[in-house]
Amino acid sequence: MIRAFENLKNNVSKVLTGKDQLVEYIMIALICHGHILMEDVPGTGKTMLAKTLAKSIKGQFRRIQFTPDILPSDITGIEYFNPKSETFELRIGPVMTNVLLADEINRATPRAQSSLLEVMEEQQVTIEGKTYPIKSPFIVIATQNPIESQGTFSLPEAQMDRFFMQLSSGFPSEAEEKQMMHLYREQEPLETIEPVLTLDEICSLHDEARKIRMDETVEDYLLHIVRATRNHEWITNGVSPRGTLALMKAAQAKALLSERSFVIPEDVKEMSACVLPHRLVLSMEGNLHTTRQKLLNQLLEQVEVPVESGAQHR
């Protein structure tokens, strides 16, 4: 397991430098069948990262460039009448894939954005009353530019909650950027990527993660974090039950990647930072004084961490 994870990190390092933690979190989302929202400025490697992930797991990759005029049928597919055959034919949209990059999702209208809701939650599409399942693993990596707001449509709370985690790759350090220059000087590194995991192995890891044990004290710690977000004067809407389950699954996957059969409080605390903040809705006063990430960090410091949890499993 750990060898496959290291191989995946090595693959990404051939294309993008300094992304080890980001790769780990994406791997966790993939194991949990979760979707990712990446908020970053253009040119930081989001598309390249998604392509590398798809090649590394020998999966299909599709990209949708979201624009104000994109239609739901452009995303999910459409049934149309073919005059030559005089029959209705199905044209499946780009969502029927393993790794879907939804580029600049906030440039599409709410109607087009909502077409992803069923796909992300149910892993299926409905066209003209017929349902078509999407094979596992399936992950949506949606991107949005945090700087530009003109001509964009903010994602509704319901859709934000369907993203398993929100990540940001950020700018590389000077040394990492220099290494990147060396990588791209004479070749296109993406062309050298070979698969290191199969789709079946990803599904097996999903099943293994579900078996990871969580002591009752760790369960209570997780719940105390979640409930703290629902009882703060600066938070209008705290973490939903869907968010509770997402944090539990992320902590299990984190333990699996750490080659443990049980979850420790540190797993819960670390994964809270990328699984919970985007689910919070701050009040007007909250937005004036802080950010969702900073507020969650404060709550994490206030919630008591259990001691000796997991010791019985060692």
- pLDDT digit string (tens) for 23-37? 999 999 999 999 999
- Model pLDDT for residues 197-252, shown as the tens digit of each residue: 999 999 999 999 999 999 999 999 999 999 999 999 999 999 999 999 999 999 99
Predicted confidence band of residue 1 (pLDDT cuts 50, 70, 90): low
Walk me through the domains of the chain, giving residue ranges and CATH numbers: 2-181 (3.40.50.300), 211-303 (1.10.8.80)
pLDDT, position 87? 87
E strand intervals along 44-196: 61-65, 77-82, 87-92, 99-103, 124-127, 130-133, 139-144, 165-167
What is d(CA 111, CA 155) in angstroms, rounded to the nearest whole number?
11
Better-scored residue on pLDDT, 111 or 117: 111
Residue 51: what are its φ and ψ, rounded to 5°? -65, -40
pLDDT of residue 311 exceeding 50, the answer is no
Q: Could you read off the pLDDT of 79-109 as tens digits, one per residue?
A: 888 888 888 888 889 999 999 999 999 999 9
- Is pTM beyond 0.75? Reply is yes
Q: What are 11-21's pLDDT values in tens digits?
A: 988 898 888 89
